[in-house]
Amino acid sequence: MKNRPLIVISACLAGEPVRYDGTDRCDKGLLQALRFAEVHPLCPEVGIGLGVPRPPIRLMAEGGVVRVRGVEDPALDVTDRLTGWGEAQLPLLASCDGVVLKSRSPSCGVAGVPRLLDDGSEDELGMGHFASFVQAQFPQLPLADDRQLQDPRLLAAFTTAVKVHFSRSERQGDE
């Protein structure tokens, strides 16, 4: 039984240098705000073996289907590998109380992720592949990205939702 909520977080936000260029995006303010919970860092792109550093990838909207491909080498299609890796995280996701992901990433971004369209133009209507997977598998799980949580009201709402999720899962564990 957990004694506090568990939050899955993008590893780069937690300070791990796992971005494509070998940097991190450590967000000390966010980590401070999440101290009420245990955080579990993960990185989908490292998880599928892309390594650090690695060629960047992006979302490509292809006739209504979104794939994740290499920026420099579009023949590199990691969509199915990301799905398989996401499926391997199902036990962890089922046991956590919230997910905080890195904004604008083709893997992690929760909203407003750039997508290359068929006509060569770009929009910002995408959702990162892992974020999309989490939302589809666990629609009730609190999910946000770091940019959203810069808004104090959204951070407060997310924190409350995580605590409610935790207390409900504790009650179910008692039954």
Smallest gap from Cβ 57 to ligand SF4, in A, equals 9
Q: Which is nearer to ligand SF4, 10 or 148 (CB)?
A: 10
**Which 3 state secondary structure label does DSSP give 172?**
helix
- Residue 45 beta carbon to ligand SF4: minimum distance, rounded to whole angstroms: 4
Nearer to ligand SF4, 99 or 116 (CB): 99
Decide if 108 contacts 101 (C-beta within 8 A).
Answer: yes
Residue type at 70 in one-letter notation: G
Residue closer to ligand SF4 (CB basis): 18 or 144: 18
CB 142 within 8 A of CB 161: yes
CA 79 to mean position of chain CA atoms: 15
Is the Cβ of residue 143 or residue 166 nearer to ligand SF4 in the bound state? 143
Element (H, E) at 58: strand 57-62
Strands across the sheet containing 6-10: 38-42, 6-10, 98-101, 143-145
Q: Nearest distance from residue 29's CB to ligand SF4, in Å? A: 17
CA distance 1 to 15: 27
- Cβ 27 to ligand SF4, closest distance in Å? 11
Name the minimum Å distance from CB 20 to ligand SF4: 7
Q: Which residues bind ligand SF4 (CB under 6 A)?
A: 10-12, 18-19, 43-45, 102, 105, 107-108
Q: Which is nearer to ligand SF4, 69 or 102 (CB)?
A: 102
